[in-house]
Structure 1
């Protein structure tokens, strides 16, 4: 049986062990950098594969979850690595290709928060079994990815956060490589990750801060009596309009995301939490939704007519263009609304919908930045962007 991988003992310059997945590998690397990652252990995928003999698999070799149990003493072995810790645990997945630069697997696998020690074994199996789900298989098929049945599991000390958020070392929506973006909510980050809560947003460009504060009504907080340990609570009136992050906290977060970017050598998306004045780094992954977007820090626009020239060959009159551009604006505003994008989000991007096309020297062009911006509002950016490029012929 494979041994547990313990982050606190991974202090040498040796490479991370094989078979622990992208998220765990990143955590081990972050832990070595002394960036205040909550203590954790990783249970490698091979450890789970060892549990599945022929009698625990179907005719195709797929594990049968209901017939799998942790070995006697396994939970106690895991808990022994957290000597002196009296709190709850977070149990998360770490898949072979999860959090990779090309596909993040975001939201595909289960996570369990505020798991008490007595329920740790069941939570570990529950998270591990999510690799067998139908929606994971569909996700892999949509991206032509190889299907694997074994993922690793991370067990980590749970941080009962007062403020949680995500930070990007660049703006993934606009492509601005020199603008950090920080989104934060009061309480735990579940409401932010799920999209249930609106978040304060901070845009930091060369040290200049633009604050987009929202009226906050609720926060997710720990409640021992609730299933999953979380409860959605109404926040105090005085917090409704208060900024989630002080200037000092914001500087800490920006410094942290830049540190991670430098260490990994590419733009990063991090999850963070504050408890009191202490900043915790929960995880980091590459930003995956920007590689097709131009860097708008240079203030340029990319025009392309590879496809639209088939509809409007030759010279187009200004009157015709004024009609076409309005049709595109209305059609694609309605399209994203039909796909579930909120009216507020559509209005925030009104300028992009109004400039889907351009008119240069009597010819019509696509404004590619607006098209990528629209695609980024929808789920499955990487897949949709490739489809759009194929349709437009922009790779040719």
Structure 2
């Protein structure tokens, strides 16, 4: 069965669980300290994102004994290879406070892999195929210090360790929120350089979920956050990771209560960053009714509408967030369930959208670039349908395809009449 959720030690198949989950499984097998967690296969993530109750129950059972709070991270099958990295495209949701909130966080991670920015990147690197989005759910640490380490200098290629570190969660470093402390070590662990940064904030967990940026005391802003003992531990971790995974490793790590943990180990790529998100909204309530209000689908009968509605997944956007951007790659259609959004093209305001309005349906057919920009002007909740799920349904069902073709023909006729008048 492809819908699986397993402890890291059993995540052995990258085609099911993605490279990140398999990498954590390898770390467990090599005796490296990894925060406890589970790996979700891409098919299970699809089901959870779609609101499948049995899939959600399987996830709940798997994380029942996992200490909260949680970090929910993407582990897409083709992410973070040596030639292409989806860092900054696929979401990490930090400090998910209760098990009941985890399915919503999984849905947000699923959507990040189907966002316009991720689709544009896929087109750029020649991976315009449906993403299989595995997910890892881990206990979130509350580290004293965290950061990244390269086992080879990522710019010069020198055979040395490059370490960047800051107070609190490592997202302050990988998201570029601080100027981190900078260290260089040789392969034997000898310190070649120590350069203090300006660590004005530390990313910390909030008691009820999510994170915040804590102001660092003035004395600690330029104080080095790693001592010789900690640097020696990191040098040892670099050797262990190279032995387990091979050369040229990009490592995310954290230190809590004097213990060093491996959070992630991947091939060195460029453009590393991470983003975080607020906890998502509850599942959609009436996707069939939402579709029946869309002119593109209005001629479908109830059964046909239900077939498409089963593919809808909810997506939440914060006020001010860009939903789609003009000129970017596209693979999703949206119906607004609540909130409002502003539409513009070439910098000129065109329209305001509200509940029941929709946009992006042409992306379901051609996957072409967006013709306008849509920005959430309030908290916005949408039903979304992706090209990857819509196309197989249409290919299997000629009756639906014919009705949609007629709907497009009507729109084309109206457009032509408008141009000739």
Question: TM-score per shorter chain, which class?
Answer: 0.5 to 0.7
Post-superposition shift, 1:260? Answer: 0.6
> Which structure 1 segments of 5+ residues have no match?
53-64, 291-396
Within the candidate set 43, 48, 64, 1:46 is matched to 43
- Residue in 1 that maps onto 2:31: 34
- Residue in 2 that maps onto 1:210: 193
Post-superposition shift, 1:268? Answer: 0.3
User: What CA distance in whole angstroms lies between the structure 2 residues aligned with 1:75 and 1:268?
Assistant: 34
Post-superposition shift, 1:42? Answer: 1.2
Q: Is the 8 A contact 1:89 1:155 kept in 2?
A: yes
Q: Which has the higher helix share?
A: 1
Query: Which residues in structure 2 correspond to 1:115-126 (within 5 Å)?
Result: 115-116=96-97, 117-126=99-108
Distance 1:122 1:282, change over 3 A: same
User: What CA distance in whole angstroms lies between the structure 1 residues aligned with 2:14 and 2:156?
Assistant: 36
Query: Which residues in structure 2 correspond to 1:284-323 (within 5 Å)?
Result: 284-289=265-270
Post-superposition shift, 1:8? Answer: 5.1
Deviation per residue, 1:184-228 (Å, 9 max, x gap) = 000111111111111000011352331011233221111125xx6
- Residue in 1 that maps onto 2:259: 278
SS at match of 1:104: coil
Q: Is the 8 A contact 1:164 1:274 kept in 2?
A: yes
Backbone CA RMSD of aligned residues: 2.2
User: What CA distance in whole angstroms lies between the structure 2 residues aligned with 1:101 and 1:17?
Assistant: 15
Post-superposition shift, 1:246? Answer: 1.3
- Residue in 1 that maps onto 2:354: none
- Residue in 2 that maps onto 1:132: 114
User: What CA distance in whole angstroms lies between the structure 1 residues aligned with 2:21 and 2:169?
Assistant: 21
Post-superposition shift, 1:288? Answer: 2.7
> Which structure 2 segments of 5+ residues have no match?
272-421
SS at match of 2:235: helix
Post-superposition shift, 1:19? Answer: 1.9
Deviation per residue, 1:217-268 (Å, 9 max, x gap) = 221111125xx62111111233223211111111111210221112212210
SS at match of 2:16: coil
- Residue in 2 that maps onto 1:7: 7
User: What CA distance in whole angstroms lies between the structure 2 residues aligned with 1:181 and 1:154?
Assistant: 27
SS at match of 1:107: coil
Tell me how many residue pairs correspond in the alignment.
Answer: 268
- Residue in 2 that maps onto 1:266: 247
User: What CA distance in whole angstroms lies between the structure 2 residues aligned with 1:96 and 1:9?
Assistant: 18
Q: Is the 8 A contact 2:178 2:198 kept in 1?
A: no
User: What CA distance in whole angstroms lies between the structure 1 residues aligned with 2:192 and 2:108?
Assistant: 42
Post-superposition shift, 1:10? Answer: 2.5
1:219 has 2:202 as partner: yes
Distance 1:17 1:141, change over 3 A: closer
User: What CA distance in whole angstroms lies between the structure 1 residues aligned with 2:59 and 2:29?
Assistant: 21
Structure 2 length-normalised TM = 0.60
SS at match of 2:241: helix
Within the candidate set 186, 194, 208, 2:175 is matched to 194
- Residue in 2 that maps onto 1:169: 151
Within the candidate set 110, 119, 140, 1:158 is matched to 140
Q: Is the 8 A contact 1:257 1:269 kept in 2?
A: no
Deviation per residue, 1:347-371 (Å, 9 max, x gap) = xxxxxxxxxxxxxxxxxxxxxxxxx
Post-superposition shift, 1:139? Answer: 0.2
User: What CA distance in whole angstroms lies between the structure 2 residues aligned with 1:24 and 1:275?
Assistant: 22
Post-superposition shift, 1:18? Answer: 3.1
Post-superposition shift, 1:25? Answer: 1.6
User: What CA distance in whole angstroms lies between the structure 2 residues aligned with 1:240 and 1:275?
Assistant: 19
User: What CA distance in whole angstroms lies between the structure 1 residues aligned with 2:36 and 2:136?
Assistant: 10
User: What CA distance in whole angstroms lies between the structure 2 residues aligned with 1:194 and 1:8?
Assistant: 26
Q: Is the 8 A contact 1:4 1:41 kept in 2?
A: no
Deviation per residue, 1:105-125 (Å, 9 max, x gap) = 111111101102221111111
Post-superposition shift, 1:85? Answer: 3.9
Distance 1:133 1:289, change over 3 A: closer
Q: Which has the higher strand share?
A: 2
